[in-house]
Amino acid sequence: MQAVSPTQNLNSSIIRPSKPRLNQLTRFAVRCVHRSDSVQFPNGVGSSRADWQSSCAILSSKVFSQDQGSGDKSTPPSASDHLAPAVNGHKTSIDLNLVPIDKNNKPQPPSPLPPQKPLTITDLSPAPMHGSQLRVAYQGVPGAYSEAAAGKAYPNCEAIPCDQFEVAFQAVELWIADRAVLPVENSLGGSIHRNYDLLLRHRLHIVGEVQLPVHHCLLALPGVRKEYLTRVISHPQALSQCEHTLTKLGLNVTREAVDDTAGAAEYIATNNLRDTAAIASARAAELYGLQVLADGIQDDSGNVTRFVMLAREPIIPRTDRPFKTSIVFAHDKGTSVLFKVLSAFAFRNISLTKIESRPHRNRPIRLVDDANVGTAKHFEYMFYVDFEASMAEVRAQNALAEVQEFTSFLRVLGSYPMDMTPWCPSRED
């Protein structure tokens, strides 16, 4: 599948949420077509298939009554203004002939609908973890480690490659994808700051995490030997993770950064570069017809990358399994405030698994607040914190209430299950 480009001219029907339409099939027949999005009913309950059927039945009966009362049979009915997002982000396609027509083209009263099934927690929760029928965006091309992470997070999903990290965010926001799986830190290379900045600029929620062992290989065209190489290309993180091993191999050559590891392999194969090698996975070698010059060239055999799973809606926090919560905050009153913020977690015996600061920049950082309105603000530092507790726990709620007293900006990026699956440094492909 072709990667989504930020400059691609998308059809307006993709960008703007679609509405239920009322189409006049015949003089009295009304069809309700529900395309992709959903609605907020007067009672505040999100829509399900039964909700849509009930809503359309009420709507069509009103249109039928208006047609009968006015006597004007030529004016098509107008569209409803009740709109809201579909439950769990699933698309549905419903064509309902809600006003039956007899052989003489006479409208008949609609048959009564079966009683609605009450919504449950399952109806209001995100889609299950198995990933079936989910479209998952990732940065890179086929063969990238992000693709493998997407498959681990959502088995049997439809993986959608994107050429940039921000395109993956946009793909979820525009309903082109249901989820995104993006790297945030590596055990050797550290944090991927670009994605932390994007978490601030986009209104997506972290709904899970997955840890992927990284096994790097040195790839080149068939027949190429290491002594012929003048350049090694890969993602900046991959280059830093293999720096010492490349030196031990005698590859004191130019090292160039590109967008992703598999993209480096594809670039060599496409341009028939016989003086260039790529750092990528063994699967990338298979996909693009390259040979493996050296296997397992990462400096640490325990090299692992942590990915986060992003969705349009947050999940419901629970307490029956280990949860992690990610927050970002800012303050403008010096380091003493940071001590007070951290003590809010220490006093409640909440373990921090990550704390990192992002420095103030010369130009404003665009933030998205709770009203989904972008505002430009200057902060000396933005602090990212991960802690081991669920937002369903009272201690976590009290800790954040105290944190809010000392900060000028606070946002919960997500409260989600921790990845507890064991992993080993051995080759995973």
Residues identified as active-site: 305, 307
Evaluate whether 377 touches 200 at the Cβ level (below 8 Å): no
**H or E stretch at 51:** helix 49-70
Cβ neighbours of residue 295 closer than 8 Å, sequence gap 6 or more: 217, 218, 282, 427
User: SS3 letters for 113-170?
Assistant: CCCCCCCCHHHHCCCCCCCCCCEEEEECCCCCHHHHHHHHHCCCCEEEEECCHHHHHH
Evaluate whether 20 touches 80 at the Cβ level (below 8 Å): yes
Strand partners, 185: 191, 306
Evaluate whether 266 touches 235 at the Cβ level (below 8 Å): no
Pick from 148, 147, 426, 143: which is nearest to 290 by CA? 143
Evaluate whether 186 touches 162 at the Cβ level (below 8 Å): no
Angstrom distance (rounded) from CA 139 to CA 2:
12
**H or E stretch at 328:** strand 323-330
Amino acid identity of residue 163, one-letter, is: D
